[in-house]
Amino acid sequence: RFYHEKVVDHYNNPRNVGSFDASDPSVGTGLVGAPACGDVMKLQIRVGDDGKIVDSCFKTFGCGSAIASSSVASEWIKGKGMDEVSKITNNDIAKHLSLPPVKLHCSMLAEDAIKAAIKDYDAKRKK
Amino acid sequence: EKEFHSVANETLHRLQEKIDEYGEKLAIDGFDTDFAEGVLTVRLGDLGTYVINKQTPNRQIWLSSPVSGPARFDWQDSQWVYRRTKVELQSLLEKELSELLGHSIDLGE
């Protein structure tokens, strides 16, 4: 198997690996995937007073493409508003990493993780 | 789980057979199908590659389409359905392949 150099780069130098306090009101946590299939992604966002994502981090359990997809996702969402970020699609991530057909599911999972983090943040704000 | 394998294998096997028939009939450049270890790969040369596989832990069939990207199908009411869009696997493939190949495609029995 051959991994595209962008995927290898994110695998060797993942951006934003880490964890925020999930109970912090400015933090949204998206947890997607299932260990049974070998992929679990946790993507967290910290939202500023202006409604923009000031920081993000992730932890992913899975293949190189899954790690790269969530790493790319965590980079792309920084400094953006939540509406803008919900427009990021698995297709954007897949094209950026030149993912082969069998790995498109990884970029889909990353898109799901972004949406889940936003949903969690919104749900917390309503409480 | 045994039932899943039985239904899924039957589906993938039938898809491969039908698609192979069209492959021969339509003489597509770079056409190839491969079904091994629960993974059906359909190469259509420059038009792209489909990967359709069994995802046993979830009892799903996963699809990767060069047209519509990834999708996951659950067995519901004797059909493979993608919950997000309610689209059915066979119809999705028939529609996409018909457009890609410029020929009406029927993957049913």
- Residue A38: the pLDDT is 78
Domains of chain A with CATH codes: 5-126 (3.90.1010.10)
- Residue A80: the pLDDT is 95
Can you give the pLDDT of all 127 residues of chain A as single tens digits?
678 899 999 888 888 999 999 999 999 999 998 776 678 999 999 999 999 999 999 999 988 899 999 999 999 999 999 999 999 999 999 999 999 998 999 999 999 999 999 999 999 988 7
Of A34, A36, A105, the CB nearest to B64: A105
- Residue A47: the pLDDT is 95
Please answer yes or no on whether B51 and A36 come within 8 Å at the CB atom: no
What pTM value is reported for the model?
0.84
- Distance in angstroms (rounded) separating the CA atoms of residues A94 and B18: 29
In order of A46, A54, A99, B35, B55, the CA distances from B40 in angstroms are: 41, 43, 18, 4, 12
Of A91, A102, A107, the CB nearest to B51: A102
Spell out the SS3 assignment of A68-103: HHHHHHHHHCCCCEHHHHCCCCHHHHHHHHCCCHHH
Q: What's the number of domains chain B is made of?
A: 1
Asked, for residue B103, whether it belongs to a domain, the answer is: no
Say if residues B35 and B12 touch (Cβ distance below 8 Å).
yes
B51 touches chain A (CB under 8 A): yes
- b/e map B14-30, b = 16+ CB within 10 Å: ebbebbeebbeeeebee
Asked, for residue B75, whether it belongs to a domain, the answer is: yes
- Residue A11: the pLDDT is 85
- Residue A35: the pLDDT is 72
* CATH number of B41's domain: 3.30.920.10
- Residue B108: the pLDDT is 86
| Residue numbers in chain B where pLDDT is lower than 50 | none
A69 touches chain B (CB under 8 A): no
Asked, for residue B106, whether it belongs to a domain, the answer is: no
Asked, for residue B51, whether it belongs to a domain, the answer is: yes
Alpha-carbon torsion (B3, B8, B11, B13), positive or negative: negative
Asked, for residue B108, whether it belongs to a domain, the answer is: no
What is the rounded end-to-end Cα distance, in angstroms, of chain B?
24
Residue B50: its chain A contacts at CB < 8 A?
101
The catalytic residues of A are 37, 106
Structure tokens at A86: 């919900």
Asked, for residue B79, whether it belongs to a domain, the answer is: yes
Residue-number span of the structural domain to which B75 is assigned: 1-98
Q: Would the ipTM clear 0.85, i.e. be above it?
A: no
